[in-house]
Amino acid sequence: MLEATRRPRTGLWWSLASTFAVGVILLAVHRLTPAPSGWPLLSESIQEVTRDLGIAFVVSSVVAILFELYRSLHHQIEAMKDVIDAVMADKLTKAVWFELEDLIEKKAVLRKELRVRLELYRDAGLQPYEARLQVELEYLVEGIGKRRPLKISHDLDYQLANRHLRLPRFERITILRIADGSATAHASEETVLESDQLVEANKSGRFELESAALKPEETMRIRVVREELVHIPGSYNLYTPEFTKGLRVLIAECPAEFITEVWVSPQGEGKHLVRIGNEWWTEELILPGQGVEVKFLPKSVPVV
């Protein structure tokens, strides 16, 4: 059956090559055949017909070859996609794989080099079991798939709040477009929002900004500084709505009577995170909906 399907394609290529050759021959005849002296008008008409037919044969064969190459490549891509769908459906079941595939197609950006810096400290205006947490998030946004307008969105954790201290709240948000994606590239556009410009975002608990789609080789650097209220002992959770590659978490400040642990949800700790001192990192891909859990535990209680 494989040979039967190959022969028509081979015959087609021979036909296209023959058409191209005929066109070249007709053009050669037009160029090399001298005009008979006795029949100038007839000779001129024959030469024009020969030239036009030669051009038509050459152009049609080239167009057909390009179309066949495109069709063949498209067929190969579809065949590869069918193989991938079959393999992944066998591992995850069709329903799960097709939902995951749909999720991938809807995502327009990838978050890279996510840096999380946390400072946990006491405040006289809080209860003994409460603490202030300054959160600094910084990451790169890189376009993937089709170019679509971007929506930059960050939420405050209003599960715990203190109106007197205005917690939680955004302190500063910086959005920087980088021309060619390199570390030394110049900024083509920068937006800096200070606390007095974030009043509405602090009221609603969400910051959203629509932005034009990223151009090829263009990236965007986002930096968010915010103040949160947490319970200690307790935990603090961050969730990503996008695919994220490359995570570092630094605990810059923590009361001496507590220790910290960082987990990536839902995998937990272990091989997924490397720790040196008060810094954790991983290069594994974090999927939309997954997140980071930072645990604040008293030193007298063993970590389990």
Summarised one tens digit per residue, pLDDT across range 139-176 is: 999 887 677 788 889 999 888 999 999 999 999 999 99
In one-letter notation, the amino acid at residue 4 is A
Distance CA 175, CA 153 (A): 12
Answer with the residue of higher pLDDT: 107 or 250: 250
Closest residue by Cα to residue 178 from 117, 248, 113: 113
How much of the chain, in percent, has pLDDT values that exceed 70?
79
How much helix, strand and coil, in percent to the nearest 5, is found in the chain?
A: 35, 40, 25
β-strand pairing of 279-286 with 243-253: antiparallel
Phi and psi at residue 201, to the nearest 5°? -65, -35
Compute how many other C-beta atoms are within 10 angstroms of the C-beta atom of residue 262.
23
Using pLDDT thresholds of 50, 70 and 90, give the confidence band for residue 257. very high
108-298 topology per CATH: Immunoglobulin-like (2.60.40)
Answer with the residue of higher pLDDT: 258 or 39: 258
Distance CA 70, CA 74 (A): 6
Report which secondary-structure segment, H or E, holds 39.
none
CA 238 to chain centre: 19
Lowest mean pLDDT of 152-161, 172-181, 264-273, name the range.
264-273
Distance CA 55, CA 62 (A): 11
Measured torsion, CA atoms of residues 31, 33, 36, 40, in degrees rounded to the nearest 10:
-30
Answer with the residue of higher pLDDT: 267 or 1: 267
Q: How far, CA to CA in Å, does 296 sit from each of 83, 231, 249?
A: 46, 9, 14
Highest-pLDDT range among 1-10, 248-257, 276-285, 294-303: 248-257
Closest residue by Cα to residue 61 from 53, 50, 73: 53
Do residues 278 and 250 make contact, with C-beta atoms less than 8 angstroms apart? yes
- pLDDT tens for 71-124 read 777 677 677 767 766 766 677 777 777 777 776 777 778 899 999 999 999 999
Across the range 214-229, mean pLDDT stands at 89
